[in-house]
């Protein structure tokens, strides 16, 4: 089991498999590196070195009560990258992990980053405010916080339906996928999950997106019920200096799992381009 003790004493769990160019995967809320199974296995077999960590307070990393904000998440990644002396890295982030990726690349990339990918990402900002009138009302995030604090076990079952589009007519519902989501979530810290809601919903990544020079692929499902495409992925792509957008009609928020074959094919093409 690979772990790294950060400068503040927090122990971070990570997977590091294979050789070749490094792909670094960043998971979404409230999951763990296991959420990238379909990608880690595929790209390992394609000859890449694949790395994925459990964010502080999530999965098998230490359940520290502190540091659950985007600046700390990004600096944690920087410590891992520097400890492993990674260079020419492609960073791939899903949902909250997309925010983590763009904040890391903007603030800590230091010439170590080759490309980045934002998958169903929370960028540029999710919450509705005077600068983002079409965003998601704060009441939605208050409800997520309330359910996380008081009904987490049941809530982590219920949320899998919109997460994977399982509430759509004709959906092929996988109980195994739902149980795996629940397992990952319940392995993490309730405190980390509660605090992370603010981090993924209220952090403004606009300036991060504008400042990044490396090629960035934005991938987003048009039927994303968790992170609405029209106000996130569609907008984020316009703020990037060297961005490319692929949107997927009918694909849900959890498309790296439910639509892994398509997502992996498009990721591979971008990695090789």
Rounded Cα distance between 202 and 126, Å, is 6
Based on the residue annotation, tell me whether 95 is a catalytic residue of this protein: yes
The stretches of the chain forming alpha helices (DSSP H) are 37-45, 70-83, 96-108, 138-158, 160-163, 175-187, 190-202, 206-211, 233-239, 255-258, 260-272
Catalytic residue (choose from 34, 195, 208, 224): 224
Cα 238 → chain centroid: 20
Catalytic residue (choose from 32, 33, 61, 95): 95
Based on the residue annotation, tell me whether 253 is a catalytic residue of this protein: yes
pLDDT confidence of residue 1: 73
DSSP state of 131: T
Give domain limits for the chain.
2-272
Based on the residue annotation, tell me whether 153 is a catalytic residue of this protein: no
Q: What is the mean pLDDT of each run of 10 residues along the chain (273 residues)?
A: 95 98 98 98 98 98 98 98 98 98 97 98 98 97 98 98 98 98 98 98 98 98 98 98 98 98 98 97
Full DSSP string of 10-41 = -EEEEEEE-SSSEEEEE--TT--GGGGHHHHH
Catalytic residue (choose from 53, 58, 193, 253): 253
């Amino acid at each position: 089991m690979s772990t790294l003790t950060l400068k503040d004493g927090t122990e971070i769990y990570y997977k590091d498999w294979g050789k070749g160019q490094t792909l670094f995967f960043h998971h979404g809320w409230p999951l763990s590196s296991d959420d990238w199974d379909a990608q880690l296995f595929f790209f390992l077999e394609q000859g890449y070195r694949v790395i994925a960590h459990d964010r502080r307070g999530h999965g098998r990393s230490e359940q520290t009560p502190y540091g659950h904000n985007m600046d700390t998440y990004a600096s944690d990644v920087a410590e891992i990258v520097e400890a492993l002396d990674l260079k020419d890295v492609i960073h791939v982030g899903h949902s909250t992990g997309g925010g983590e990726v763009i904040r890391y690349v903007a603030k800590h990339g230091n010439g170590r980053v080759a490309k980045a990918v934002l998958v169903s990402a929370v960028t540029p900002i999710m919450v509705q405010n005077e600068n983002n009138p079409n965003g998601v009302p704060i009441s939605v995030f208050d409800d997520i916080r309330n359910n996380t604090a008081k009904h987490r076990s049941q809530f982590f079952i219920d949320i899998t339906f919109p997460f994977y589009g399982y509430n759509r007519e004709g959906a092929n519902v996988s109980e195994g996928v739902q149980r795996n989501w629940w397992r990952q979530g319940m392995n993490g810290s309730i405190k980390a999950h509660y605090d992370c809601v603010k981090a993924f919903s209220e952090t403004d990544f606009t300036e991060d997106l504008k400042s990044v020079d490396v090629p960035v692929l934005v991938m987003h499902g048009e039927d994303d019920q968790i992170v609405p495409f029209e106000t996130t992925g569609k907008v984020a792509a316009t703020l990037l200096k060297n961005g490319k957008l692929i949107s997927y009609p009918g694909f849900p928020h959890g498309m790296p799992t439910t639509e892994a074959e398509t997502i992996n094919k498009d990721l591979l093409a971008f990695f090789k381009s």
